[in-house]
Amino acid sequence: GIQVEQSPPDLILQEGANSTLRCNFSDSVNNLQWFHQNPWGQLINLFYIPSGTKQNGRLSATTVATERYSLLYISSSQTTDSGVYFCAVAVNFGNEKLTFGTGTRLTIIP
């Protein structure tokens, strides 16, 4: 099956800093989502981005499908950004299950 790797595994930043999270996948995908999992376990949808670039406030994401990677940018970090960030992909029609990456644990220090 498809392999999804995220880097870095852990990231500790001062409040106000910027960060880039990376997601590499081993095969072509037709669906890619970024999630933020808060300390209570809730997965919050950030982006649905199988290709291209999207922005939402301080967050933006870019997926380069031909090179099999996606990037999540967080600018001007806040303590509420702390948590685990997952990317998840789906491969093809008839196989719409999401395969999750290994996650990046982000800690923002005040």
Partner 1 sequence: DAGVTQSPTHLIKTRGQQVTLRCSPKSGHDTVSWYQQALGQGPQFIFQYYEEEERQRGNFPDRFSGHQFPNYSSELNVNALLLGDSALYLCASSLGRRGAFYEQYFGPGTRLTVT
Contacting positions for partner 1 (CB under 8 A): 30-31, 33, 35, 40-43, 45, 48, 50, 86, 88, 90, 93-103
Contact 83, 59 (CB under 8 A): no
CB of 84 vs partner 1, minimal distance in Å: 9
CB of 52 vs partner 1, minimal distance in Å: 14
Instruction: Pick the closer one to partner 1 by CB: 6 or 77.
Output: 6
What whole-number distance in Å separates Cα of residue 45 and Cα of residue 54?
A: 13
CB of 97 vs partner 1, minimal distance in Å: 4
Contact 44, 59 (CB under 8 A): no
DSSP-based helix, strand, coil % in the chain, nearest 5? 5, 60, 35
Instruction: Pick the closer one to partner 1 by CB: 74 or 86.
Output: 86
